[in-house]
């Protein structure tokens, strides 16, 4: 959807450091965009989704962290867990400094919709088995 892509681009730009005081409001708008556009928000808003993920480790996020998590949850519900993890894979670090995005599991909790059992069996059961080893 072209409108969603245009809005997503504008919101992605608004997540730049110079707009730091507005991040909470911008993140809430991001969540609403994904909720309104649903699955049609992708691929047009993919850069917005990855930009939101990239904010997680930013120390300046501060009190806007709750808005980030809620907005990513709305995005996950809107696009479905398969599309969400295809764009934001869940990676568990096995060493210091390794890439770790396991925090995305808490985003998915309570925001699962448009999911099939075969996807969960293929994606999450092996991840769980690996974590239990």
CA gap 72, 107 in Å, rounded: 6
Looking at residue 110, its pLDDT comes to: 81
How large is the average pLDDT for residues 49-53?
A: 97
State the pLDDT confidence band at 102, using cuts at 50, 70 and 90.
confident
Burial of 94: CB neighbours in 10 Å, binned 0-12, 13-18, 19+: exposed
pLDDT of residue 91: 84
Task: Please determine, for residue 89, whether its predicted confidence score (pLDDT) is greater than 80.
Answer: yes
pLDDT at 113 over 80: no
Answer whether residue 93 shows pLDDT above 80: no
């Amino acid at each position: 959807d072209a409108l969603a892509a245009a809005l997503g681009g504008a919101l992605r730009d608004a997540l730049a450091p110079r707009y730091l005081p507005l991040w909470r409001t911008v993140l809430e708008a991001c969540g609403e965009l994904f909720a309104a556009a649903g699955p049609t928000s992708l691929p047009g808003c993919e850069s917005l989704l990855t930009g939101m993920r990239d904010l997680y480790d930013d120390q300046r996020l501060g009190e806007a962290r709750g808005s980030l998590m809620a907005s990513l949850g709305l995005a996950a519900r809107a696009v479905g867990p398969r599309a969400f993890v295809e764009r934001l894979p869940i990676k568990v670090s096995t060493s210091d400094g390794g890439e770790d995005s396991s925090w995305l599991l808490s985003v998915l909790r309570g925001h699962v919709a448009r999911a099939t059992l075969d996807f969960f069996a293929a994606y999450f059961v092996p991840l769980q088995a690996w974590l239990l080893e």
